[in-house]
Chain A
Amino acid sequence: MAGKVIVLTSGKGGVGKTTSAAAIAAGLALRGHRTVVIDFDVGLRNLDLIMGCERRVVFDFINVINGDAKLNQALIKDKRNDSLYIFPTSQTRDKDALKRDGVERVLEELKDSFDYIVCDSPAGIEHGALTAMYFADSAIIVTNPEVSSVRDSDRIIGLLASKSRRAEFNLEPVAVHLLLSRYSPERVRKGEMLTVEDVKEILSIPLLGVIPESESVLRASNTGTPVVFDEESPAGRAYHDAVARFLGEQRELRFLQPERRSFFRALFGRA
């Protein structure tokens, strides 16, 4: 088995990389693919919280890179899904601890036992982010519909095309996908946000999905449950669609229109 390495990256911070990494990884696992999600944000460890396994962390990514722990000592099995594993990072170290040969060795070992290795990149374009993207086979560019985020995403797409291992060794380029998150149809309608078409036009990469801005995402983060486990939430369903498209299915885009409020809901003022 040779697993595929997927990096979730954006350049800009706060656009929803970790939320999306958790949701995509869980979505892949829910479809029966053996999946591990790795936190590359050394020093600002969050993925374990989003995945709800923060109280089970003993060893981390850096321990394994340095040979202080074995891979199976550091991997945390998800309690909700047998195919899903979490690989937390260190909160006490910094990005310099991400040595490229060490990361490569760990990823190669993971490829033997997983179908998908989802890498949650830190923000920025420095060592941490560059290491997270270097070994990627596919990249999911998490972008918010606003100009600063789009510009940073554009920069990251350029780096993937020049600084990744695939680029350096003249292999088939990293497959790059756009995931538009925190999309608010209401604000797009008012002209406060870029439209899906605007973003697609500027970045000119295939669109994997549009995740609507949703309270369920915040709730999911705070309870440590990836939002795809919430069958009711539009964001959760949008992530399921994105995962399906990633795996090659054709699905219509949803949640691009402002949610229609029913007459009774409007009458009683409930959201």
Chain B
Amino acid sequence: MAGNLVQGAVFTVMVVRAGMLRDPAFEPELAEQIRRSPRFFLNAPVVLDLKDAAEFTDKEEFAEAKEILHRHTLTLIGVQNVTPAQLLAAAGAGLASFPPNAPQPSRSPPRAPTRSVPSPPAAAVKTRLVTQPVRSGTQIYARGADLVVTAAVSPGAEIIADGNIHVYGALRGRALAGAGGDVDARIFCSRLEAELISIAGRYLVSEQLPAEQHGFPVQIALVDERLTVTRN
């Protein structure tokens, strides 16, 4: 991405299913396992798998999960298999988003540096097209696809896509692209007046958006982990 500043690396990370955290037996069992091999677990990174755990929705719950694991010398670094709302809450608790494709609890560390085997080509997903104004209180989610809106998105409306978002009108509500964790997703709009923009869980609220770009056609991308707004 940014020349020599950023280097890729592959790590093994433990995955804890969110449902287990609620199980009263979880903590004692975890403590027992750590007692057996304390060095392996010391400061080990953990990813929380939120599959079938829709009840995790707010920042506090993620902070609580972080604390439970921290009591056992583990460091919660991120989440996977999240819904867009969970992604936002998790980002609020300082957690990163991991792609949902690592079901095996342990994977051999020396992995190919790049994904040489692309995921099987799914049937081409059609871009979701919305031609009516997206009114306050409405939520539109383009699952696994791009979202194109050819009208305005009102304050209080929320548009979400796993891919890119294009708004050929004023963007006044919330726009969340790369909701499944795709850091390459972008947001394009003809007029930036958004309440919130987010890509892969990183977000800016309206008062953090650059004032000089307000009302202008822009695109928003993640560059070096930072949301960057550039005039089109």
Contacts and interface: CB of A to CB of B under 8 A. Distances in A.
Interface in B129-143: 132-133, 135-138
Interface stretch (A36-44, A52-60, A154-162, A248-256): A154-162
B19 interface: no
A157 B152 contact: no
Contact of B135 (A147, A158, A201): A158
Contacts of A154: 135-137, 154-157
Nearest to B152: A204
A132 to B, nearest CB: 18
Interface residues of A, number: 13
A202 B135 contact: no
A158 B172 contact: no
A151 interface: yes
A155 B152 contact: no
A155 B137 contact: yes
B65 interface: no
Contacts of A161: 132, 135
B172 A155 contact: no
A90 B156 CA distance: 34
A161 B136 CA distance: 12
Interface string A172-210: 000000000000000000000000000001101000000
B53 interface: no
B132 A202 contact: no
B151 A204 contact: yes
Interface string A236-256: 000000000000000000000
Contact of A151 (B151, B152, B155): B155
Nearest to B169: A204
Contacts of A159: 137
A194 to B, nearest CB: 12
A156 to B, nearest CB: 8
Contacts of B136: 151-152, 154-155, 158
B183 to A, nearest CB: 32
A140 to B, nearest CB: 17
Contacts of A157: 135
Contacts of A155: 135-137, 156
B156 A202 contact: no
A159 B157 CA distance: 13
B156 A151 contact: yes
A152 B155 CA distance: 10
Given A151-B155, A161-B132, A202 B172 contact: yes
Interface in B163-179: 170, 172
Interface in A142-171: 147, 151-152, 154-155, 157-159, 161
B138 to A, nearest CB: 5
Contacts of B172: 202
A158 B138 contact: yes
A154 B154 CA distance: 7
A204 B155 contact: no
A204 B156 contact: no
Contacts of A158: 135-138, 157
Nearest to A205: B133
B169 to A, nearest CB: 9
Interface in B99-133: 132-133
Q: Which residue, of B132, B154, B155, B156, has the highest number of chain A Cβ atoms within 10 A?
A: B154
A205 to B, nearest CB: 9
A201 B169 CA distance: 11
Given A158-B136, A202-B152, 8 more contacts: A154-B135, A154-B136, A154-B156, A154-B157, A158-B135, A158-B138, A161-B132, A161-B135
Interface of B: 132-133, 135-138, 151-152, 154-157, 170, 172
What are the 4 closest A-B residue pairs judged by CB atoms, nearest first?
Answer: A158-B135, A154-B136, A155-B137, A155-B136
7 contacts: A151-B154, A155-B135, A157-B135, A158-B138, A202-B154, A202-B155, A204-B152
